[in-house]
C-alpha cells in the first residue's frame, strides 16, 4: 500500500546583499537567557549494544513454503538493498509475493551486556504491505490478525520482541531470518533505516513526550512542557534530567541546566521551561535523562520554532490566486480570500451572468452558461479602507487552473477519519485558513461501507452518517469537498473501490456535491496485467475520466498511482488535474528531501489545470491514525517543505490535525507571498539550476516576469551560499524580496549571498 515512498530565518546577508530593514544582525543581540525551570548530569550510561541487520539481505520474487527453511539454498538470490523498496532496485511495478533472507549470528554476549536480560528485539524496517517473519524456519511475527492472512497485512514497522528462551533463536550460531511479503500496490518490500537486533533494555520502555506546543510567552521567548514516562514495567526511575540549548551555527551550548527527575509507568515527570532573547532562527534543545541506578540514558532533541510570516494587517487585503476556472453549466463556488479586521464587505464588478456574490461572506455561487474569460474586480472593505484585485474567471474546459489548496485526512487520521474530524477541519479552515485561499476539505480512505446498497451504489460507513449533509455544510462555509476511491476492487486501506462501478460512483459523488476525487491505484494491480504497459497504466484513469465527464459537476481529478509509467508525461492527456509523482511521504527529512529534490524530471508536465503532486504536507500534528505526534521535521525542514512544494506548483494538502494548529504551523500555512508562488497563474514548475554537495537552487518562472528562487541548504551545517547571478541566468534581476519575511533586500553586485541553516531555505522573489 505505501509507496516507493533543519532550520532558517537567517535571511540573505553579507556584503552584496543585505537586509534593507529589520533584524539582520543575527549575532548582535545580547543573550540574556531567562530560564524559569520548574522543576540534570553525569553521562555514565552505556547505550544498548546493537547488531546491525542492514546489510547482506537476499531477495527473490515469488512465493514458496520452502523459502523459510534454514537449509534452503539461497545462493542464486539477488542481493537486496533494504534501504529502498524492491521497485527501486530492478523490480518496477512489482506487486504480489516476494521474500528476503539474511544469515546472521546472534551472540550470547548481547545478554551478558544487557541490564535487562529477558527479551531480544528485532527491527526490520517497514513491511510493505503484508508480512511474515520466520526465524530459522519458525514464524515469529506477522502484521495481520489471527484468522486473517498475509493479504490482509498492513504496511507498518517490522518491529517485535522475542523471549530470550524462544527456541527459534540459535545463540552463538548462524540464524536465518526470512521475510515473506505480499504487496498490494505501489512500493513493496522491507525497507527503512532501522535494521537491527538488540536486547530489550531499561530505556526501551521510556520516552520523552515533546508533543506539547511551544507557547510564545513574549515576542522573543518560548515556553514548553515536556514529559518523560515509562510505558510499562514496575521500575522506578530516579535520576537527573539535563536540558541544553545549543546554537546550531556554532555548536555551542548557550544554556544548560540539570535537575532531579523521578518517574515510573504510573507517574510521569514534567519539565517546564521558558527561554528568552530568541532571534529569528531555530535552536537545538536536548533533553537527556540519566537513571542513577543503572547509569542508562535516553536523549531527545528538537528544534525551536520561529515565525517569519508577518502579522496579518487590520487593513483589508485580498489574497489567493488571480484566476479560477469552472466549466459552463456546472455549479460555481468561489470564496474571495481576504484578511483584515472584520466585518469585511465584499464586492465584485464584472461578474458573468449567472453568478452572485454574498457581500457579507465573500462567497460567489451560481452557474455560468457561456464560455469566456471574464475579468472581474474584487473589492474588500472595512472601516480602515478598501483593497481591490483584478481576477479572471475562466469558464471553459479546464478546471483547477492553480494547484489545489486544502486539507486531506490521511496524514492526520489515516483510516480513523470520521464526520466529526472532517467538520473540525472544515471549521478550522474556515476560521483560520480560508482567508489565505485554502478551500478543499478532502476525505481520504476509510469512509466507505463494506458493501454497496441493493442498487450497487457506494454508501458511506457508520463514521459518515450523512455524506450529503456533510458536503452541504462544507459548501456553506465556501469550501469544497473531496473524496477518495480506487479503480481496483479495494482501496489501499482495504475498503471498497470503484472497480466496475465507475459511472455509478461518479454519479453518487456528484449527487453528494463532491468537488475533488483522489483515485488511488492500489488493488487495481490485481485486475490488470502483471507487467502493465503504458496503456494499462492509463486505462483505469481513462475509464473514470469518462464517468466524471458524464456528470454535471466539476470534480477535480487527482491521480494517485505513485508516478508509475512516468505519469507526468501523460497525466494531462488522460484528463488528470494532478497526479502523484512518488510513493507516500513520511514526516522525516529522508522522505521529504528524497521526494522534493527529485522532482526536476517531472517539471515539464506542469501547466495550468495539470500539476505534479509530490504528496501531501507533513507539517503540524500528524499520525496516520488516532494518535498524533508533532511532525518529526525540524522547523527549518518545514520551511523547506512549504517553500519547495510552492516552487514545484504542487497541490498543497495539509495533512495534520486541524483542531490543533499551533502558531508555528499557522505561520507556515498563511504566508500570502509564499502561497502566491504556488498559486502563480503561469502554472510552471521550478527547475533545479544548481546542485552542489551541500546545497541546491531551484527557480520558478512567474506570470509577472519575476522569478521565485529557493536556495536550499541540504547539508548538516550552517552555510553561506554564494550564487553568481550571471552564471545562474539571473543577471537581469535587480530587486530581491525575501518572501517569508515579506521584505525587500538590498542586492547590488554580482552575487546572491545567503546564510542558510542546515536543511533550511531562503526563498526570494526576483524582479527586474
Ligand atoms: C495510499 C496513498 C495514500 C493514502 C492511502 C489510503 O497509500 O498513497 O496517500 O491515500 O493509500 O489507504
Q: What is the pLDDT of residue 623?
A: 96
* CATH number of the domain residue 411 falls in: 3.20.20.70
Indicate if ligand 1 lies below 6 Å from the C-beta of 206. no
Residues 240 and 352 in one domain: no
**Structural domain boundaries, residue 106:** 51-198
Residue in 129, 445, 520, 615 annotated catalytic? 520
- The partner residues of 297 in beta bridges, in order of sequence, read 290
Q: What is the pLDDT of residue 6?
A: 26
Provide the pairing of β-strand 138-142 with 130-135: antiparallel
Q: What is the pLDDT of residues 482-510, one digit of tens each?
A: 999 999 999 999 999 999 999 999 999 99
* CATH number of the domain residue 362 falls in: 2.60.40.10
Cα–Cα distance for residue pair 541/142, rounded to 1 Å: 34
Mutate to test the pocket of ligand 1, among 484, 520, 567, 587 (most ligand atoms within 8 A of CB): 520
Query: 221 with 278: CB under 8 angstroms?
Result: yes
Contact partners, residue 264, CB within 8 Å, separation at least 6: 230, 234, 235, 236, 237
- The partner residues of 702 in beta bridges, in order of sequence, read none
Q: What is the pLDDT of residue 373?
A: 98
Indicate if ligand 1 lies below 6 Å from the C-beta of 560. yes
Asked whether residue 42 carries a pLDDT value surpassing 70, the answer given is no
Indicate if ligand 1 lies below 6 Å from the C-beta of 410. yes
Asked whether residue 576 carries a pLDDT value surpassing 80, the answer given is yes
* pLDDT, the chain, mean: 92
Indicate if ligand 1 lies below 6 Å from the C-beta of 445. yes
Asked whether residue 90 carries a pLDDT value surpassing 90, the answer given is no
pLDDT band at 23 (very low <50, low <70, confident <90, very high): very low
* CATH number of the domain residue 730 falls in: 2.60.40.1180
Residues 460 and 361 in one domain: no
Indicate if ligand 1 lies below 6 Å from the C-beta of 201. no
pLDDT band at 16 (very low <50, low <70, confident <90, very high): very low
Q: What is the pLDDT of residues 631-668, one digit of tens each?
A: 999 999 999 999 999 999 999 999 999 999 999 999 99
Based on the residue annotation, tell me whether 520 is a catalytic residue of this protein.
yes
Q: What is the pLDDT of residue 35?
A: 38
Q: Which of 685, 709, 725 is the last residue of a domain?
A: 685
Cα–Cα distance for residue pair 93/703, rounded to 1 Å: 38
- Minimal CA–CA distance to 492: which of 594, 443, 543, 561? 561
* CATH number of the domain residue 56 falls in: 2.60.120.260
Q: Bigger pLDDT: 245 or 22?
A: 245
Nearest CA to ligand 1 atom 3: 584
Coil vs helix vs strand at 504: helix
DSSP-assigned letters across all residues of 356-408: EE-TTT-EEEEE--S-EEEEEEEEEEETTEEEEEEEEEEESS----S--EEEE
Radius of gyration of the chain from its Cα atoms, rounded to whole angstroms = 27
pLDDT band at 3 (very low <50, low <70, confident <90, very high): very low
Residues 423 and 366 in one domain: no
The percentage of residues in the chain with a pLDDT greater than 90, rounded to a whole number, is: 86
Q: Which of 271, 303, 335 is the last residue of a domain?
A: 303
How many domains does the structure of the chain reveal? 5
In a domain? residue 310: no
Residues 624 and 598 in one domain: yes
Residues 430 and 485 in one domain: yes
Residue range 447-459: mean pLDDT, rounded: 98
| Least confident segment among 85-94, 200-209, 733-742 | 85-94
Cis geometry, peptide bond prior to residue 343 (ω within 30 degrees of 0):
yes
In a domain? residue 616: yes
Q: What is the pLDDT of residue 40?
A: 28
Based on the residue annotation, tell me whether 81 is a catalytic residue of this protein.
no
Q: What is the pLDDT of residues 280-313, one digit of tens each?
A: 999 999 999 999 999 999 999 999 999 999 999 9
Residues 136 and 229 in one domain: no
Asked whether residue 414 carries a pLDDT value surpassing 60, the answer given is yes
Amino acid at each position: 500500500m505505501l509507496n516507493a515512498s533543519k532550520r532558517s530565518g537567517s535571511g540573505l546577508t553579507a556584503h552584496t546583499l543585505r537586509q534593507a530593514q529589520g533584524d539582520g544582525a543575527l549575532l548582535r543581540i545580547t543573550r540574556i537567557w531567562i530560564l524559569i525551570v520548574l522543576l540534570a548530569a553525569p553521562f555514565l550510561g552505556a547505550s544498548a549494544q546493537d547488531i546491525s541487520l542492514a546489510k547482506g539481505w537476499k531477495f527473490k520474487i515469488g512465493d514458496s513454503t520452502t523459502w523459510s527453511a534454514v537449509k534452503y539454498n539461497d545462493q542464486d538470490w539477488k542481493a537486496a538493498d533494504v534501504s529502498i523498496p524492491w521497485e527501486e532496485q530492478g523490480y518496477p511495478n512489482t506487486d504480489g509475493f516476494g521474500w528476503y533472507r539474511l544469515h546472521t549470528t546472534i551472540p550470547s554476549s548481547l545478554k551478558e551486556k544487557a541490564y535487562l536480560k529477558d527479551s531480544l528485539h528485532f527491527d526490520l524496517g517497514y513491511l510493505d504491505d503484508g508480512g511474515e517473519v520466520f526465524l530459522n524456519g519458525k514464524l515469529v511475527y506477522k502484521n495481520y490478525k489471527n484468522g486473517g492472512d498475509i493479504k490482509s497485512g498492513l504496511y507498518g514497522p517490522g518491529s517485535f520482541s522475542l523471549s530470550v528462551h524462544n527456541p527459534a533463536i540459535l545463540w552463538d550460531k548462524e540464524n536465518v531470518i526470512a521475510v515473506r511479503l505480499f504487496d498490494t500496490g505501489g512500493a513493496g518490500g522491507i525497507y527503512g533505516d532501522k535494521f537491527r537486533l538488540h536486547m530489550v533494555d531499561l530505556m526501551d520502555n521510556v520516552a520523552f513526550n515533546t508533543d506539547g506546543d511551544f507557547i510564545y510567552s513574549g515576542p522573543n521567548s518560548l515556553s514548553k512542557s515536556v514529559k518523560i514516562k515509562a510505558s510499562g514495567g514496575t521500575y522506578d526511575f530516579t535520576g537527573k534530567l539535563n536540558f541544553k540549548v545549543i546554537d546550531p551555527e556554532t555548536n555551542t551550548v548557550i544554556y544548560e541546566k540539570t535537575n532531579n527527575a523521578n518517574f515510573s509507568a504510573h507517574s510521569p515527570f514534567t519539565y517546564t521551561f521558558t527561554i528568552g532573547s530568541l532571534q529569528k532562527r531555530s535552536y537545538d534543545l536536548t533533553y537527556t535523562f540519566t537513571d542513577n541506578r543503572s547509569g542508562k540514558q535516553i536523549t531527545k532533541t528538537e528544534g525551536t520554532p520561529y515565525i517569519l510570516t508577518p502579522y496579518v494587517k487590520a487593513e483589508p487585503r485580498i489574497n489567493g490566486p488571480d484566476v479560477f476556472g469552472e466549466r459552463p453549466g456546472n455549479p460555481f463556488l468561489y470564496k474571495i480570500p481576504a484578511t483584515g479586521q472584520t466585518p469585511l464587505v465584499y464586492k465584485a464588478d464584472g461578474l458573468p451572468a449567472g453568478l452572485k456574490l454574498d457581500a457579507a461572506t465573500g462567497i460567489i455561487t451560481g452557474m455560468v452558461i457561456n464560455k469566456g474569460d471574464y475579468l472581474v474586480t474584487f473589492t474588500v472593505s472595512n472601516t480602515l479602507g478598501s483593497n481591490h484585485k483584478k481576477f479572471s474567471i475562466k469558464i471553459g474546459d479546464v478546471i483547477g487552473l492553480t494547484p489545489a489548496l486544502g486539507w486531506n485526512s490521511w496524514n492526520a487520521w489515516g483510516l480513523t477519519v470520521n464526520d466529526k474530524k472532517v467538520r473540525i477541519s472544515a471549521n478550522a479552515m474556515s476560521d483560520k485558513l480560508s482567508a489565505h485561499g485554502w478551500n478543499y476539505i478532502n476525505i481520504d480512505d476509510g469512509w466507505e461501507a463494506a458493501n454497496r446498497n441493493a442498487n450497487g451504489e457506494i454508501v458511506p460507513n457508520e463514521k459518515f452518517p450523512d455524506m450529503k449533509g456533510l458536503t452541504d455544510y462544507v459548501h456553506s462555509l465556501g469550501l469544497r469537498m473531496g473524496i477518495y476511491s480506487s479503480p481496483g476492487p479495494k482501496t489501499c486501506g482495504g475498503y471498497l473501490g470503484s472497480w466496475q462501478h465507475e459511472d455509478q460512483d461518479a454519479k453518487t459523488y456528484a449527487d453528494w456535491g463532491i468537488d475533488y476525487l483522489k483515485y488511488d491505484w492500489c488493488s487495481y494491480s490485481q485486475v490488470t496485467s502483471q507487467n502493465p504497459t503504458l496503456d494499462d497504466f492509463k486505462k483505469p484513469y481513462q475509464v473514470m475520466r469518462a464517468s466524471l465527464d458524464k456528470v454535471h459537476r466539476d470534480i477535480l481529478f487527482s491521480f494517485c498511482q505513485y508516478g508509475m509509467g512516468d505519469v507526468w508525461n501523460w497525466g494531462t492527456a488522460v484528463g488528470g488535474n494532478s497526479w502523484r509523482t512518488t510513493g507516500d511521504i513520511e514526516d522525516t527529512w529522508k522522505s521529504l528531501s528524497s521526494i522534493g529534490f527529485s522532482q526536476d524530471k517531472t517539471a515539464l508536465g506542469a501547466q495550468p489545470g495539470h500539476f505534479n503532486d509530490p504528496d501531501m504536507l507533513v507539517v503540524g500534528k500528524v499520525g496516520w491514525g488516532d494518535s498524533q505526534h508533532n511532525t518529526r521535521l525540524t522547523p527549518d525542514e518545514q520551511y523547506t517543505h512549504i517553500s519547495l512544494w510552492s516552487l514545484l506548483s504542487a497541490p498543497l494538502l495539509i495533512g495534520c490535525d486541524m483542531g490543533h494548529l499551533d502558531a508555528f504551523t499557522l505561520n507556515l500555512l498563511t504566508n500570502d507571498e509564499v502561497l502566491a508562488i504556488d498559486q502563480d497563474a503561469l502554472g510552471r514548475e521550478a527547475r533545479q539550476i544548481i546542485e552542489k554537495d551541500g546545497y541546491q537552487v531551484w527557480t520558478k518562472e512567474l506570470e509577472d516576469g519575476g522569478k521565485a528562487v529557493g536556495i536550499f541548504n541540504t547539508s548538516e551545517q550552517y552555510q553561506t551560499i554564494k550564487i553568481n547571478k550571471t552564471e545562474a541566468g539571473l543577471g537581469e534581476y535587480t530587486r530581491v524580496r525575501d518572501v517569508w519575511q515579506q521584505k525587500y533586500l538590498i542586492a547590488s553586485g554580482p552575487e546572491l549571498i545567503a546564510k542558510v541553516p542546515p536543511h533550511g531555505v531562503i526563498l526570494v522573489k526576483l524582479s527586474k
